[in-house]
Amino acid sequence: MEGALIARDKVGVQDFVLLDSHTSEAAFLNNLRKRYQENLIYTYIGSLLVSVNPYQELDLYTVSQMQLYRGVNFFELPPHLYAIADNAYRVMCNEFNNHFILISGESGAGKTEASKKILQYYAVTCPTTEQLQTVRDRLLLSNPVLEAFGNAKTLRNDNSSRFGKYMDIQFDFKGAPVGGHILSYLIEKSRVVHQNHGERNFHIFYQLLEGGDKELLGWLGLERNPQKYAYLIQGRCAKVFSINDKNDWKIVRKAFSIIDFTEKDMEQLFGIVASVLHLGNIQFEEDSNGHAIIRDGSQIKWISKLLGAHLSILQEALTNRKIEARSEEVLSPLNVDLAFYARDAVAKAIYGRTFTWLVNKINGSLANKDSTQKTVIGLLDIYGFEVLDTNSFEQFCINYCNEKLQQLLIEMTLKAEQEEYELEGIEWEPIPYFNNKIICDLVEQKHKGIISILDEECLRPGEATDLSFLEKLEEKVGDHAHFVTRKLADQKTRKSIDWVDFRLLHYAGEVTYCAVGFLEKNNDLLYRNLKEVLCNSKNSIIRECFLLSELDNRRRPETVATQFKNSLTSLIEILMSKEPSYIRCIKPNENKEPGKFDDFLIRHQVKYLGLMEHLRVRRAGFAYRRKYELFLQRYKSLCPATWPHWHGPAAEGVERLIKHIGYKPEEYKLGRTKIFIRFPKTLFATEDAFEYRKHLLISRLQAKYKGFLGKRAYQKKRKAAIKLEACWRGALARRAAKKRTWAVQTIRKFINGFINRKKPLCEENRDFVRLSQYLYLMKLRDHLPKNVLDKSWLRPPSILEETSEMLQKLCVRNLVRKYCRGLTAERKVQLQQKVVTSAVFSGKKEGYLESLSQPFLETRLKESDLNPKVLQLIRGENIKYVTPVVKYDRNGFKARERLLVLTQSSAYVVEMAKIKQKIEYSTLKGISTSNLSDGIVVIHVPEDKKGDVILQCEHLFETVTKLCILANKQSVVKVVKGSLRFRVGSGKEGTMVFTVGPEPQVFKDKTGQLTVVRTQLGPGRHLVLPPLDLHLQRAQPLLPGRAGGTETPPKAGGDHPVSVTCRR
């Protein structure tokens, strides 16, 4: 706890005792606010725990948190519910005495949740066996059952306990929970028949309707809609979004089975719950005599069935009252108002006694049959001080209970303080405080107290009313300093008190009570004939609750207030015999909003819970006390004499320590085992000095420790490096040796393989051969031919010659396949024509190789370039090829410009619009050309025709190839050397001589032969024929009518320029 003082400015102090202004309510609230805003919901006042409801889930109740607080000194960890529970448990185990934990606070402050968390803590942290697990489950699951029957939604809390509960948890000598026992106090029976606006009846009614299956509801005669039942709709909030009645019903049913309820018990219990709902729906009306009669008999039939009561007797008991007159019994009819009163009285009586039976049944399942001595820890979950807009009989009883508990708290706190002072040998200083015994006596004193006066009014003969009760109070206790009525009040106070009100000045403040209904609620009478019906019920639970012996007892039963006073006295006796622990629960706001801190509301609760009074008593002596050993252990570093070790008694060490620090005599006292510090500021100064010293010590320790760690790490690394180097050198040497051995073996193996490489594949040469093959194939991969024409191939080793040959064929086939797949249809036709050209001219005629790179065209002139008359003359035939040519006449060999037109069936020599000669392919006898590059071609025709046709073509190879293919006569083409014979006319032949000379010429020599002269070509030279128009220009001098003469002839067709000379 001392360590948390460093952050006290931000989060406050963990113990209110350490507040400097301990008498200031503002300082108290400010400290509470600081902690609440940091989600620190727990704060101590000495050993008392103040808990503020966070209205949200906080990570404070996990199993790890439970283990953290298990077995730890009370002030060693921050304040927590588990610290209170663990401290009580440890002291009980060590000293073998009994304890109780008192949990109090307003409705909605978290009392029920706190008791659940404490039960869960014991269930998890206490030793257990399989047999004890059943007891733990029953302890835990008794809560949902009691909450279902005893809790309800109020304006302040959706799960408000409407009864007081005290649970004893029994432990064996090992500290294991072995049993339990529950006491209940003052269940709010009036809620069964009436609820304020915004409130609900007890949870079980809504859970049964929402969660019960159809068969069960049908058997009980219930409908699922709660709006159908008068007892459930008065608060106008039967459905609440924050409450899951269906899910809660499942939990309750599971709890019943574990707590050892039989199916018959549950059947009869639910029958009682249903009968209460049916009772609320009974409506009365007046007959002609003004007597009450039941309007609709359907509800009473269900009640008769469920309670096992005779229908007519039950109906009579609800509308008549049995009066004893001497030795006779007379039935007195009830009016409508009294009938409703009787109905509600039955409902309250049934529910109230059934709840008591339920508690006893749970006690039976928790009872421990072992007779050995047990220790117990009691949990008291009791309503806190209540101040409502209208305070009635229930608030009077609740506030009376809180007065008694406040008295117990102050007395036990003072007693504990005084015992500790005496034990430590410190002089006891009387502590002034407000003793509320005077208020308790005002309420409970015999013959003079308010309860006694109330009982007298209830029991006296004659007409007693709430006003007569109020007058009696004014008469008997009117002079009491803590009692005020309108009649007794001064002029100023009188305005705030009504004529039917009285005011009590409680320890926590003034509370005004409305006396209306006090007598009725205190009497809580049930007409005798109704009690007879219930005593004779066939429902076993009702028979246990209403015994037949009650009918024989003529004494008037104790009033509710007297019963409550007696049970409270019994409770105080139980608590006085145990060691106490206190938890005060505070509600931070009315809207259940997380983080909202309502100062006015919290100030009101701090006052009513008596926290300031408790703090004042706790701080009247010394604010801080610790055992010498713990104090010295924490602060010994502040004194050179005690640091780092003190070898003497702890008391002497503490004395040396505080003298060194400079404590003044009035600031402390030294007891037998503890040091007592009077002022918080003294402790704060000590803690601040310790915090400063701690930083210095930590810095020094860090420096030393870092140096030590550095040295140790260096030494460790150095040893590791040496060892690693040695291991690595050895590994490298072994690896090198292994590598050398492998190298020697490999070299030896390959040398042997080289020697035996010529042999067939065997073990001796296999590796060498495989390596040779691999190396050859890898090298071959990078030197494969790139195209079909590339004939290069890597020379293989002898053993791979056959394989290499196969691979070469595959490669060539693959290249060819790839090349062929890449050809277009047009390109394919061209290549086919080139093949024909190759077959005809390859190796035979000059200029062939140069023509290979020149693609053949489909035609040299388009069909549209021909004269229309020519087209008309050759219509019906598909023109395939047209090219310009020069034709030499047979007589005189004059050059004429012509067109050669090739169709599907014939070849035509055309002059302008005339067809000069037609040559059918079928009559074609041959085609001749020289081996020189002169462009001359001779087409041989039959003898009955005109003579052979002599032509000169610029594209000789293309023209001859086209003609051969169309005529389908490749074999008739002849390439001649020197000279060729041609037919001039009918029966006449001529000779054409081909020669090489200095100047190209075509002429008729002296012998009458046609001579074609080609110029001698040097290395790297070739002849190109000029265009035909130029040739024709040169041929103009040779027109008919001009004799002889030698002219420069036009360049002949072919690949080389030639001169043509004609002679007669």
- What DSSP letter does each residue of 437-487 carry, written as one string? HHHHHHHH-TTTSHHHHHHHHHHSSS---HHHHHHHHHHHHTT-TTEEETT
- Confirm whether 1053 is a catalytic residue: no
Question: CB-side exposure of 48: number of CA atoms within 13 Å?
Answer: 27
Per the structure block, which two tokens stand in for 727?
């291991």
- Confirm whether 257 is a catalytic residue: no
- Distances in Å between the Cα of 422 and the Cα atoms of 1, 413, 618, 624, 667 are 26, 14, 16, 17, 19
Amino acid at 307: L
- Confirm whether 157 is a catalytic residue: yes
**Alpha helices per DSSP H over 292-331:** 298-307, 311-319
CA 325 to chain centre: 77
Q: Which of 160, 512, 642, 1015 is catalytic?
A: 160
- Confirm whether 161 is a catalytic residue: yes
Question: CB-side exposure of 88: number of CA atoms within 13 Å?
Answer: 30
- Confirm whether 108 is a catalytic residue: yes
Check residue 462 and give left, alpha or beta (phi > 0: left; psi -120 to 50: alpha).
Answer: left
Q: Which of 384, 449, 653, 990 is catalytic?
A: 384
Q: Which of 31, 115, 161, 1059 is catalytic?
A: 161
CA 225 to chain centre: 38
Q: Which of 112, 154, 529, 1015 is catalytic?
A: 112
Rounded to whole angstroms, the Cα distance separating 353 from 711 reads 79
Please, what is the end-to-end C-alpha distance for the chain in angstroms? 146
Per DSSP, which regions of 755-810 are E strands? none
What letter does residue 15 receive in the DSSP assignment?
Answer: B
Rounded to whole angstroms, the Cα distance separating 360 from 349 reads 17
Say if CB 86 and CB 125 are below 8 A apart.
yes
CA 836 to chain centre: 82
Say if CB 211 and CB 250 are below 8 A apart.
yes
Largest CA distance in the chain: 192
Rounded to whole angstroms, the Cα distance separating 842 from 832 reads 14
Rounded to whole angstroms, the Cα distance separating 973 from 937 reads 10
Per the structure block, which two tokens stand in for 389?
């807009």
Per DSSP, which regions of 867-971 are E strands? 879-888, 895-903, 906-911, 914-920, 926-930, 936-940, 949-953
**Phi, psi for residue 67 in degrees, rounded to 5:** -65, -30
Say if CB 501 and CB 494 are below 8 A apart.
no
Residue 612's contacts (CB-CB under 8 Å, 6 or more residues apart) are 23, 25, 28, 606
CA 44 to chain centre: 38
Burial class (CB in 10 A: 0-12, 13-18, 19+), 750: middle
- Confirm whether 312 is a catalytic residue: no
Burial class (CB in 10 A: 0-12, 13-18, 19+), 658: buried
**Phi, psi for residue 434 in degrees, rounded to 5:** -85, 115
Q: Which of 12, 105, 108, 164 is catalytic?
A: 108
The 3-class secondary structure across 477-492, one letter per residue, is HCCCCCEEECCCCCHH
Output the CA torsion sign for 1032, 1037, 1043, 1046: negative
- Confirm whether 456 is a catalytic residue: no
H or E segment to which residue 546 belongs: none
Q: Which of 53, 107, 837, 1061 is catalytic?
A: 107
Say if CB 284 and CB 293 are below 8 A apart.
yes
- Confirm whether 130 is a catalytic residue: no
Q: Which of 188, 210, 386, 444 is catalytic?
A: 386
Catalytic residues: 107-108, 112, 157, 160-161, 384, 386
